[in-house]
């Protein structure tokens, strides 16, 4: 059996959903210990990871193929804090602070025929601080199943005109996927 780490941001972008019992093929970025994964999982659990998948970093001929026998969602607690955006603190150092009660300027581009595209930053900056020792493994039926995709992001929960208080929440960082009967192709 081979245990493969999948990072949430990569699979949220363009990974295909799968569930226990499916045949999979993962492109492997590395089979070495990764400092980021080790700091998230802790040394004992990180030692059980055989390979780290990535389909964004580079092309790889190193692959793991086989049938999924278990999926563990890896989550940890974070403290979400918001603070008023100020020049040099979430806004460019040379930004001019808008008067109290006014929004940051709208940055956009006219596309013609009355259409435009643009954005206006929130008056607030959100910081997420991981809570040490809070990492947990949760049994899952698969990766990117319909119910898992419905999780709201912190930005989606925050309305543009409100300043929510500090709060603690659980954040999914990725999955440990156990692949049985793994057939591996490694780079020479």
DSSP of 88-111: TBEE-TTPPPPPTTPPPPPEEEEE
Report the candidate in 183, 163, 174, 127 with the shortest Cα–Cα distance to residue 10: 174
pLDDT score of 188: 46
pLDDT score of 142: 92
pLDDT score of 160: 44
Residue bearing tokens 């990766």: 143
Residue bearing tokens 């089979």: 31
Report the candidate in 19, 97, 100, 2 with the shortest Cα–Cα distance to residue 53: 2
Regions of the chain short of the pLDDT cut 50: 147-161, 188
Report the candidate in 9, 78, 75, 77 with the shortest Cα–Cα distance to residue 45: 75
pLDDT score of 57: 62
Report the candidate in 41, 42, 44 with the shortest Cα–Cα distance to residue 5: 41
pLDDT score of 77: 93
Report pTM: 0.69
H or E, element range at 154: helix 154-157
Query: Pseudo-torsion of CA 18, 21, 27, 30, nearest 10°?
Result: 110
């Amino acid at each position: 059996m081979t245990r493969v780490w999948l990072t949430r941001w990569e699979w949220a972008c363009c990974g295909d959903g799968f569930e226990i019992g499916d045949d999979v093929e993962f492109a492997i970025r590395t089979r070495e210990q990764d400092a980021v994964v080790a700091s998230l999982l802790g040394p004992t659990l990180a030692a059980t990871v055989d390979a780290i998948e990535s389909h964004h970093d580079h092309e790889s001929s190193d692959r793991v193929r086989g049938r999924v026998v278990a999926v563990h969602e890896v989550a940890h607690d974070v403290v979400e804090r918001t603070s008023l955006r100020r020049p040099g603190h979430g806004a460019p150092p040379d930004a001019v602070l808008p008067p109290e009660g006014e929004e940051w300027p709208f940055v956009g581009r006219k596309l013609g025929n009355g259409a435009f595209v643009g954005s206006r930053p929130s008056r607030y900056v959100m910081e997420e601080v991981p809570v040490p020792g809070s990492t947990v493994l949760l049994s899952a039926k698969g990766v990117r199943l319909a119910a898992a995709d419905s999780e709201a992001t912190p930005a989606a929960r925050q309305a543009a005109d409100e300043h929510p208080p500090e709060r603690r929440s659980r954040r999914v960082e990725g999955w440990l996927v156990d692949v049985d009967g793994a057939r591996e192709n490694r780079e020479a």
